């Protein structure tokens, strides 16, 4: 049984991932600023943590077999409307937060039974697709993709590093974009599979990437976008 660390595991994709990992884990540590929808206890431990603050990070178990960094931003504005502070905040949360997370857990990442440990980060479909109103978040997530490939090379064969690049996933971050049936229908129509993504979709892929079942996958950015990035239906 494995130990896992999930940053941002008290809501959205992270919360769903914790629910998938906990039944078969020794322990799942969750770092987030508040408990939100998480129910700590048993194999799930919540540790208060603001990854962007200068405070010391929580103590970690002696070894961790998998780690996922789930915090992110959805800051959709025209380039003209974006301030330097917008770019700075997206950079802090998406890239520098991930760097701080990985600096902390990297020395503790150790595989079991000959399998490497595994790390999962999150990008966005907008890095590869070039979407309007995404300049700030796409710039930050593009840096995340570079980090994934560099670390995958540097940490192989001991640790696998991959990222998931979702399109719109129905989480609290995008509530205003899916706030009416009409908005939801219009958004779903953009995808070849005619629906928006769910936290369960993203968590299932993250769980797969953290498991030995994906043991020959590293340095990859996997699209999770209902076909948007590759299909023209």
Which residues are part of the catalytic machinery? 123, 141
Is the bond preceding residue 157 a cis peptide, omega within 30 degrees? yes
CA 105 to chain centre: 15
Which pairing describes strands 66-69 and 117-122: parallel, antiparallel, or unpaired?
parallel
The answer to whether residues 118 and 210 touch, using CB atoms and an 8 Å cutoff, is yes
Separation CA 177–CA 171 (nearest Å)? 10
DSSP state of 57: P
For the chain, first and last CA: distance in Å?
A: 43
Helix (H, G, I), strand (E, B) or coil at 21: helix
Best CA proximity match to 120, nearest among 18, 1, 25 = 18
């Amino acid at each position: 049984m494995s130990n896992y660390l999930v940053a941002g595991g008290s809501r959205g994709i992270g919360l769903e991932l914790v629910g998938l990992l906990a039944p078969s884990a020794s322990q799942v540590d969750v770092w987030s600023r508040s408990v939100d929808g998480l129910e700590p206890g048993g194999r799930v431990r919540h540790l208060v943590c603001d990854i962007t603050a200068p405070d010391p990070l929580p103590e970690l178990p002696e070894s961790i077999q998998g780690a996922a960094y789930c915090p992110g931003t959805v800051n959709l504005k025209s380039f003209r409307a974006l301030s330097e502070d917008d770019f700075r905040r997206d950079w802090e949360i998406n890239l520098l937060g991930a760097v701080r997370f990985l600096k902390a857990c990297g020395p503790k990442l150790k595989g079991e039974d000959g399998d490497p440990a595994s790390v999962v980060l999150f990008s966005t479909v907008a890095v590869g697709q070039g979407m309007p109103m995404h300049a700030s978040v796409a710039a930050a997530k593009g840096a995340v993709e570079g980090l994934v490939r560099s670390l995958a090379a540097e940490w192989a064969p001991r640790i696998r590093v991959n990222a998931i690049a979702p399109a719109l996933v129905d989480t609290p971050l995008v509530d205003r974009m899916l706030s009416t049936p009409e908005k939801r229908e219009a958004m779903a129509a953009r995808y070849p599979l005619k629906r928006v993504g769910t936290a369960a979709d993203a968590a299932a892929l993250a769980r797969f990437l953290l498991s030995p079942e994906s043991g020959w996958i590293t340095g990859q950015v996997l699209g999770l976008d209902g076909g948007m990035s590759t299909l023209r239906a």
